[in-house]
Amino acid sequence: VPKFLVGDDGSIGERNGEVCGAIEHKMGIHGNATCVLNYDGAKGWLVGEENKGLAAMFIMMNAARLGVGVQGLSQAEVAYQNAVAYALDRRQGRALTGPAEPEAQADPIFVHPDVRRMLMDAKAFTEGMRALCLWGALQVDLTHKAKTEEEREQADMLIGLLTPVIKGYGTDKGYEVATNMQQVFGGHGYIEEWGMSQFVRDARIAQIYEGTNGVQAMDLCGRKLAQKGGAAIQAFFKVVGDDIADAKGDDTLAPMAEALEKALGQQQAATMWFMQNAMQNPNHLGAGAHHYMHIMGIVTLGWMWLRMAKVAQAALAAGGEDKAFYEGKIATARYYMDRYLPDAGALRRKLEAGSESLMALDEDAFATAA
Ligand SMILES: Cc1cc2nc3c(=O)[nH]c(=O)nc-3n(C[C@H](O)[C@H](O)[C@H](O)COP(=O)(O)OP(=O)(O)OC[C@H]3O[C@@H](n4cnc5c(N)ncnc54)[C@H](O)[C@@H]3O)c2cc1C
């Protein structure tokens, strides 16, 4: 039986007199006991059937990847809640349009458009991502419990396709939002007293474990897009397209639906470009996979925002309670369409640049001093 000991110096894993690991000084998640274990010369046993390990691993992995996507959301959310409270409290400078609170010595930093940009980006991401995580959980339930086989298959296809996006895009953005919320604190974000640096450190791991986001992007583009002759991506285009067509009949929703339609068009063009170019040169796929995953994340959250705006619009028309809440949803949906969706076009152009300039240099050139 291996014996794992923690020494005074933090070393761990003394076995048969030999140290086989050391406590890892991680940059974040310090509440989690992770350490490096080296199994040099150790004997392995086959568990289960030969050549069936990867499939078995993916049963665990798929659930874990959705869980890590939620971690991206959670770190962004807690950082956002702290940043909102700070921005309401901290006073510095004056509003560009003239003092907002002339009787005070300075205005709260909330009045500065650049602070608002960071907070609105965070609000639009966290609420959109929360909707996507809940939608994903519903698809998992439907794969087991939907009434018809057709519905079960559709849910299975969609959640299989979107799992790398929820994990990869959700945690890339989760980290970005956490650092932007740290930025809202200025210098106070960098020092330890306010706790913001911890959110940034903790958010970082989610981009790495359960398969790096580079590997998530390759799973999406190299496996999921082509599966069953592209059935999953076609099903995705159809459900998003149906909601866009439906929303075009409403005056408030139509401009949002049209903006989303354009972004969806960018994704469809990027998909077509892969189909036409990646077979002849697989490096084109590898060079564009990260961009494709982000295009799909942008479009998917745009779809969630269109759906939320539709519900909010119906609630406002019905004239019930929570008017401010639903108006906030419509305003944030508009912001998302204005400020997130245009990135899909720029990412598509990067993707269509292919792999030539990216792969052009010999490896030796990277080590050469400029
Ligand atoms: C704190 C922490 C906790 C962890 N917990 C666990 C755990 O509980 N259980 C467990 O099994 N593992 C765990 N891991 C391991 C973790 O899942 C792996 O570190 C992670 O999946 C990346 O694998 P790697 O380290 O081998 O990176 P590598 O595979 O060496 O990747 C290095 C770089 O190359 C890129 N890369 C590699 N292959 C490709 C490819 N084919 N295409 C494109 N890019 C590629 C990666 O994206 C990355 O940027 C943990 C890691 C950490 C840091």
Query: What does 1-37 look like in DSSP terms, one character per residue?
Result: -----B-TTSEEEEETTEEEEEE---SS-TTS--EEE
Atom of ligand 1 nearest to the CA of 217: 43
Q: Mean pLDDT for the chain? A: 92
Tell me, what's the pLDDT at 36? 72
Distance 168 CA to ligand 1 centre (A): 13
The dihedral over CA atoms of 301, 304, 309, 310, expressed in degrees to the nearest 10, equals: 150
pLDDT digits (tens, 9 = 90+) for 186-241: 999 999 999 999 999 999 999 999 999 999 999 999 999 998 899 999 999 999 99
In what side-by-side order are the strands of the sheet with 18-23? 11-15, 18-23, 35-37
CA distances from 333 to 63, 218, 253, 299 (A): 29, 30, 10, 13
Share of the chain above pLDDT 90, in %: 82
The atom of ligand 1 lying closest to the CA of 210 is: 17
Q: For ligand 1, what atom is nearest to the CA of residue 26?
A: 1
**Which of 212, 216, 355 for a ligand 1 pocket mutation test, highest count of atoms within 8 Å of Cβ?**
212
Cβ 211 under 6 angstroms from ligand 1: yes
Is any ligand 1 atom within 6 A of the Cβ of residue 194?
Answer: no
Distance CA 277, CA 282 (A): 8
Span from the CA of 162 to the centroid of ligand 1 (angstroms): 20
> Does residue 28 have its Cβ closer than 6 Å to ligand 1?
no
Contact 316, 323 (CB under 8 A): yes
Q: Is the pLDDT of residue 126 over 60?
A: yes
Question: Among residues of the chain, what percentage have pLDDT more than 70?
Answer: 92
Confidence band, pLDDT 50/70/90 cuts, at residue 10:
low
User: Would you say residue 20 has pLDDT above 50?
Assistant: no
Question: If you ran DSSP here, which 8-state letter would residue 151 be given?
Answer: H
Average pLDDT over residues 34-40: 76
**Cβ of 234 less than 6 Å from ligand 1:** no
> From the CB of 212, is ligand 1 less than 6 Å away?
yes
Residue 349: per-residue pLDDT: 98
In this predicted structure, the answer to whether residue 12 has a pLDDT above a threshold of 60 is no
Instruction: Give the number of the atom of ligand 1 that is nearest the alpha carbon of residue 214.
Output: 47
Residue 3: band (very low, low, confident or very high) from pLDDT cuts 50, 70, 90:
very low
Catalytic residues: 210
Q: Does ligand 1 come within 6 angstroms of the Cβ of 230?
A: no
* pLDDT confidence of residue 2: 44
For 57-66, 84-93, 202-211, 334-343, which range has the lowest pLDDT when averaged over its residues?
Answer: 57-66
Q: Whose CA is nearest to atom 38 of ligand 1?
A: 215
